[in-house]
Amino acid sequence: MYDDIIGAISTPLGEGGIAIVRVSGEGAIEKINKVFQPRAPGKDLRSRKPFTLTLGYIKDEEQGILDEVLVSIMKSPRSYTGEEMVEINCHGGALAAKRCLQRVLSLGIRLAQPGEFTQRAFLNGKMDAVQAEAVIDIIRAKTERGLKLALKQMEGKNSQYIKSLEDLLLEANMLLEASLDFSEDIGDLDYRRVRELMESSRDGIDKMLRAGELGDVYKEGISVAICGKPNVGKSSLLNALLRKERAIVTDVPGTTRDVIEEYVNIQGIPVKIIDTAGIRDTSDLVEKIGIDKARQAISEADLVVLVLDVEAGMTEEDMNIYRSLEKQERIILLINKDDLMAKNIKQKDIERHFSSLDVIWASTKDDIGIQSLAEMIEKKVTAGLADNEQLEFTVSLRQKELLKEARQYIQEVLEALELVPMDCLGVDMQNALISLGQLTGRDLKEESIDRIFREFCIGK
């Protein structure tokens, strides 16, 4: 338990309905009671029941009113941090909240560090390290799918799975230690059973890492660059995906001269769509700069949508752009303007020149093929990542490092099984258990704890 009280604004600054000043620590209620005047007599905060709201005023040093507020109190251990807590609901807007916070800090309450409320919750046993990391994922979630995964982690689904992996290792370790300590009573070590347990734990780690890669797609998102020669409908495709007029669309080639980036939710994946300048030979200096930036954006994108114009037909310009693209597996070919009568690109042309590509026939004007493109993007991004058991996890960089570390120790035990003395096996077995234990926060070093919470915002 900490011996100081912390406070911070826990809502974004700016105009809004309310702003919340959060206070946590032993004696928080007593402190805030000194600057709070209840609107109704006899509503002293110290006598109020937990999880009730009290209407009143925060007073300044001269007993003037700083703001009309609603104050809620929570008592240890039934609070977010596990400590005594007070939340002051001020009027929204930067000034009212700042003035209330300044008054709170004038009582000797310390300004909270980023993530310190959640760090206290972790250290007070209200959540484990994996659940604490889920808090930041919930805050940063860009799509419903990403939020769903973060909430599962917050509920403890990841921790339960990790515990099941630990249990397998603990049983294997128990067999090993029993064989060492009581060999005369229980006989030789059951190597087959130990191997089964270790392999199951290792395979479980592999499944979690694979599921984590898929989770990263829904959490972090991907980038998709739209490319092609001028006037094939790249900006129209951007607008169709966004469902709004974001890019200027004209019949004049070279209208888009800079890279335009927008985020859109595609099949639950946060996707950064990049509309690039039409690639062609030009003497226009500004357009050349735009084309150079387009090539850079295309090279850095996770996927590339190459757009052709069915009316204009395939040209050498189209083929040069296609030949300049790297990694065939990341390219989607979109044949635009399929609503027109004049079709100068045939299926046989596609089969001859682009047989290895996934192809979408579309009309951005009539919204034809846009949903098919969205489904194709999801398919390409998640290919090879889906698990037959449909495991769904988000796995942080810290968690990945510890999982890989544990896996390495397990693999070393498996390779040495029946080849080295049993007491030597126990060292790697214990190291694997330590790595898995650190995932949820057991025996975490101070620097590792700081690493978890340093990306949090102040007030959380």
Q: How far is Cα 244 from Cα 299, in angstroms, rounded to an integer?
A: 26
Q: Are 228 and 307 in contact (CB under 8 A)?
A: yes
Q: Which of 263, 270, 224, 271 shows the shortest CA–CA distance to 244? A: 263
The DSSP secondary-structure symbol of 389 reads T
Q: Is the pLDDT of residue 397 over 60?
A: yes
Q: What is the pLDDT of residues 9-24, one digit of tens each?
A: 999 888 888 999 999 9
Token pair belonging to 382: 């998640």
Q: Which residue would you say has higher pLDDT here, 78 or 326? A: 78
pLDDT at 285: 66
Q: What tens digit of pLDDT does each residue of 139-189 get?
A: 888 888 889 999 999 999 999 999 999 999 999 988 887 776 555 555 566
Using a cut of 0.75, tell me whether the model's pTM lies above it.
Answer: yes
CA dihedral 383, 387, 390, 395 (to 10 degrees): -90
Of the given ranges (221-230, 424-433, 447-456), which has the lowest mean pLDDT? 447-456
Indicate whether 307 pLDDT > 70.
Answer: yes
Is the predicted pLDDT of residue 249 greater than 50, yes or no?
A: no
Cβ(238)–Cβ(262) under 8 Å? yes
The answer, yes or no, to whether residue 250 has pLDDT greater than 70, is no
Averaged pLDDT score across all residues of the chain: 86
Higher-confidence residue of 230 and 203: namely 203
Structure tokens at 222: 């991907």
**Structural domains of the chain in order of their starting residue, each with its CATH number:** 6-127 (3.30.1360.120), 134-217+396-440 (1.20.120.430), 224-377 (3.40.50.300)
The model's confidence at residue 299, banded by pLDDT at 50, 70 and 90, is: confident
Mean pLDDT of 436-450: 84
- Comparing CA positions, the residue from 265, 146, 202, 268 lying closest to residue 404 is 202
- CA atoms of 121 and 128, how far apart (whole Å): 9
- Is pLDDT at 30 greater than 90 in this prediction? yes
CA–CA distances in Å: residue 439 to residues 117, 308, 416: 20, 49, 25
pLDDT in tens, 349-367: 888 888 888 999 988 888 8
Q: Which two tokens stand for residue 204?
A: 């479980």
Taking residues 413-434, what's their average pLDDT? 83
